[in-house]
Structure 1
Amino acid sequence: MPSLAAHIPAVPGSGIRRIYEIAAELEGVISLGVGEPDVPVAPHIAEAAKAAWDRDDTNYSANGGILPLRRAIVDKLAAENGIEADVEQVWVTIGGTQALHLAMQLTLTAGDEVLVPDPGYTTFTMNARMLDARPVPYPLTEERGFLPSIEELDALVTPRTRMIIVNSPSNPLGAVFPRHVLQQLLEFARRHDLWILSDEVYERFTWGGPHVSLAALEAQSSDGTERVFSVFSFSKTYAMTGIRIGYLVTPSGLAATMRTMQEASISCVGMPDQFAALAALQGDQAHVTEAAAHYRTNFEAASAALRERGIRYLEPTGAFYLWTDVAHATDGDVAAWAERLLLRERVAVAPGSAFGRSGEGWIRLCLAASRDDLLAGIARLPAPEVVAGEAS
């Protein structure tokens, strides 16, 4: 048979999905690995999708999405994110995942380099490799509170660097970048003339501090150049992960190009899905507030259980994950250890190495699970004193 494109073998698999797929073949698994909200979709959202099916509203839409949804997103961006966008800057996508890929398709060519957070969401690296571009990790280390160092970023820039990806609130870390850090990243991108891809999928889940959108900061201190692509999603906010709908907010002046890109890749998002998203934005937001409170109380219960067992974790300031240190048990290979944990203890966790080299020895626990499952899963993690006792 003919060969695949030469760069395709370099696309890494997802360490998260590997655990997920093994778990799917087993019974009695406690699932703490995938970022899947345990709350149901709100009834008014489901009813809007059902109504679209019932009235046979199942035809094509414009490439960017139905106009009422795009207008509702424009209103939301202004009210909640401080982003003043035109409808032609808003493009409805198949989840935040397609929005990420679309922005990278627009800006990266073969051999280009993109700065990706390490630890960072797996798709950042996978997308870059799919485009025959080179992902260059920038470390987010415990010593700096998992925030980026501008000096280290400066040292990573080469003539081929085209973009930096910023993810706040962070998946997997749960870190929210303060305004001054985002301002520094914006200045860094200006100094090196880079695009910024801002992943803000977990915007509604922050603890103690506000979420700040990079595009809003850019508008406040703009030099006249727009360089920020912003990615949002309905998946986590509204527990709509399987409905697959998000949106990309582009710099101005790209409407004609975006129509071509959307037509060539997906044409448009399904109409019932778009009506569900419209209902999500325009309906009562109480279920989002309740979900956020649920995730936070889950964190409090989980962190207490981890402290009691002497297992270290990063205090999250956003998202719904708990970055947990299990280096005492993993013998330098957390991915292999996570598979053994799944097979022996029936607990699925995301190995930290799936998010980059800096994640070795850590796991990501999803707090968007039932309280009972979360605590039962933590109870099956090996505590440091138990491991030490086994080794002696």
Structure 2
Amino acid sequence: MSSLYDRLSPVVRNLPPSGIRRFFDLANEMEDVISLGVGEPDFVTPWHVREACFYALERGFTSYTSNYGLPELRKALAQYLQDFDLAYDPMTELVVTVGGSEAIDLALRTLVCPGDEVLIPEPAYVSYNPCARLAGAEPVAVPTHAQDQFRLNIEQLRAHITPRTKVLILCYPNNPTGAIMEIEDLRSVAKVAIEHDLFVISDEIYAELTYGKKHVSIASIPGMKERTILISGMSKAFAMTGWRIGYAAAPAELLSAMVKIHQYTILCAPIMGQMAALEALQNGRQAKEQMVEHYDQRRRLIVNGLREIGLSCHEPQGAFYAFPDIRSTGLTSEQFAEGLLRQNKVAVVPGNVFGEAGEGFIRCSYATSVEQIHRALERIDRFVQSIH
């Protein structure tokens, strides 16, 4: 008799567990670990946002909302997106989701058919590949490189397009590298997308976290809004990870198809979280800007510190991750991360969990205090010196 596991969907059976999770589990078993691994703000959601949730509960806001989300929240999102030169109809071109993660899943399941190929620039956020597989598509890695500041190279992009290619996933500012794409980079990508009739899923969850350069959305480039699904949410810029409020913006025809899946699987995002998100959008700009200033200070500290240790590190211009090159140590990403954790109690994420292009690198989140970053750098220095 076959085991229960053997009777599961082969797609699910063949999905590997998250490589990030293993290191978190190891770290949780140890004391005095400094974590540079967590991909979330270390700030608590601002009080006025939490208070808006309490007030919503006091007033009895505990019901379902429209599948699309609260109309007033969608209007606030549409107004907010105007800061990035984007114009969306709040009633037909915006849906509130349970985090950006649900929006990514909805977008892929809406766009792809079995056998379609999805291009994923790597190193990449760990969920894109498995979500593409769960939707029946074949993920295709497009490597990016440190010498290009981990920007998507157009020649590499063209080289990976086949007659089966249907979707390109973009994540800029990038997790895990901190790379950004500027307007000229995106114009080149847009030209290729239009030429090959590709859809683009643009994950812009870190759009607000840029340093010195304003974020540009590929959806703002002429000819791209009609073929782009923009994904974002409240998690990173507004320190609202646990609230699970994301959103997708797309042409009405695409969005209504996504909502078909959303209404049968989720129905709607929690109303209390939506009310809190509305408060954050309307009155949270100052707190958001203060958080970005703190991240910028930490960014310079960790990058300079890693370089002084002897680890080459490109300058991240977005998100809150440094992605240093550890190949000079002679260790693989896994060996470096595990050794650093076991010997010196600093948790980082090995770059290979973000795809083959990430091998030889580690991801260090600087969404932690300056004091913790100083201590972590001292421990990393001791570990590197012990290798040499």
Q: Which residue of 1 aligns with 2:336?
A: 337
Report the 3-state secondary structure (helix = DSSP H, G, I; strand = E; otherwise coil) of the residue aligned with 2:253.
coil
Conservation of the 8 A alpha-carbon contact between 1:329 and 1:387: no
Q: Which residue of 1 aligns with 2:276?
A: 276
Q: Which residue of 1 aligns with 2:294?
A: 294
- The answer to whether structure 1 residue 81 and structure 2 residue 80 are counterparts is no
**CA pair 388-341 structure 1, distance change in 2 beyond 3 A:** closer
Q: Which amino acid aligns with 1:54?
A: E
Q: Which residue of 1 aligns with 2:109?
A: 105
Conservation of the 8 A alpha-carbon contact between 2:117 and 2:166: yes
- The answer to whether structure 1 residue 5 and structure 2 residue 9 are counterparts is yes
CA distance in 2, matches of 1:109, 1:330: 42
Q: Which residue of 2 aligns with 1:93?
A: 97
Q: Which amino acid aligns with 2:130?
A: M
Q: Which residue of 2 aligns with 1:146?
A: 150
* Deviating more after overlay: 123-132 vs 20-29: 20-29
**CA pair 361-100 structure 1, distance change in 2 beyond 3 A:** same
Q: Which residue of 1 aligns with 2:123?
A: 119
The C-alpha deviation readout for 1:337-391, integer Å capped at 9, x for no partner, is: 32332233221111111111011111111111011111211221257972563xx
Conservation of the 8 A alpha-carbon contact between 2:238 and 2:284: no
**CA pair 336-76 structure 1, distance change in 2 beyond 3 A:** same
Q: Which residue of 2 aligns with 1:231?
A: 231
CA distance in 1, matches of 2:369, 2:299: 11
Report the 3-state secondary structure (helix = DSSP H, G, I; strand = E; otherwise coil) of the residue aligned with 1:304.
helix
Q: Which residue of 2 aligns with 1:248?
A: 248
Q: Which residue of 2 aligns with 1:363?
A: 362
Structure 2 portions without partners, runs of 5+: none
One of 38, 45, 56 as aligned partner of 2:42: 38
Q: Which amino acid aligns with 2:337?
A: A
CA drift of 1:233 comes to 1.3
CA drift of 1:12 comes to 2.7
TM-score, normalised via structure 2 length:
0.94
**CA pair 373-154 structure 1, distance change in 2 beyond 3 A:** same
Q: Which residue of 1 aligns with 2:138?
A: 134
Q: Which amino acid aligns with 2:36?
A: L
CA drift of 1:39 comes to 1.5
Report the 3-state secondary structure (helix = DSSP H, G, I; strand = E; otherwise coil) of the residue aligned with 2:252.
coil
CA drift of 1:309 comes to 1.7
CA distance in 2, matches of 1:25, 1:54: 40
CA distance in 2, matches of 1:11, 1:131: 13
TM-score, normalised via structure 1 length:
0.93
Q: Which amino acid aligns with 1:28?
A: D
CA distance in 1, matches of 2:313, 2:329: 14
Conservation of the 8 A alpha-carbon contact between 2:172 and 2:180: yes
CA distance in 2, matches of 1:183, 1:36: 30
CA distance in 1, matches of 2:277, 2:147: 40
**CA pair 52-330 structure 1, distance change in 2 beyond 3 A:** farther
Q: Which amino acid aligns with 1:126?
A: P
One of 176, 186, 190 as aligned partner of 2:190: 186
Q: Which amino acid aligns with 1:84?
A: A
| 1:16-31 paired onto structure 2 within 5 Å | 16-31=20-35
CA distance in 2, matches of 1:97, 1:161: 22
Report the 3-state secondary structure (helix = DSSP H, G, I; strand = E; otherwise coil) of the residue aligned with 2:226.
coil
The C-alpha deviation readout for 1:2-46, integer Å capped at 9, x for no partner, is: 711122223232212221222223322211101121122111100
Q: Which amino acid aligns with 1:66?
A: L
Q: Which residue of 1 aligns with 2:307?
A: 307
Structure 1 portions without partners, runs of 5+: none
Q: Which amino acid aligns with 1:335?
A: E
What fraction of aligned residue pairs are identical, expressed as a percent?
37
**CA pair 335-62 structure 1, distance change in 2 beyond 3 A:** same
Report the 3-state secondary structure (helix = DSSP H, G, I; strand = E; otherwise coil) of the residue aligned with 2:142.
strand
CA distance in 2, matches of 1:111, 1:289: 44
CA distance in 1, matches of 2:89, 2:159: 36
Conservation of the 8 A alpha-carbon contact between 2:311 and 2:328: no
Conservation of the 8 A alpha-carbon contact between 2:95 and 2:259: no
Report the 3-state secondary structure (helix = DSSP H, G, I; strand = E; otherwise coil) of the residue aligned with 1:253.
helix
Q: Which residue of 2 aligns with 1:49?
A: 53
The C-alpha deviation readout for 1:106-134, integer Å capped at 9, x for no partner, is: 01122211000111111111211222321
Q: Which residue of 2 aligns with 1:324?
A: 324
CA distance in 1, matches of 2:363, 2:172: 16
Q: Which residue of 2 aligns with 1:157?
A: 161
The C-alpha deviation readout for 1:184-216, integer Å capped at 9, x for no partner, is: 111111111110011111111111211001111
Conservation of the 8 A alpha-carbon contact between 2:107 and 2:258: no
Q: Which amino acid aligns with 1:299?
A: R
Q: Which amino acid aligns with 1:290?
A: Q
Report the 3-state secondary structure (helix = DSSP H, G, I; strand = E; otherwise coil) of the residue aligned with 2:210.
coil
| 1:147-226 paired onto structure 2 within 5 Å | 147-217=151-221, 221-222=222-223, 226=226
Report the 3-state secondary structure (helix = DSSP H, G, I; strand = E; otherwise coil) of the residue aligned with 2:323.
strand
Conservation of the 8 A alpha-carbon contact between 2:122 and 2:358: yes
**CA pair 330-354 structure 1, distance change in 2 beyond 3 A:** farther
Conservation of the 8 A alpha-carbon contact between 2:93 and 2:255: yes
Q: Which residue of 2 aligns with 1:71?
A: 75
Report the 3-state secondary structure (helix = DSSP H, G, I; strand = E; otherwise coil) of the residue aligned with 2:362.
strand
Conservation of the 8 A alpha-carbon contact between 2:194 and 2:223: no
CA distance in 1, matches of 2:306, 2:70: 46
CA distance in 1, matches of 2:175, 2:255: 30
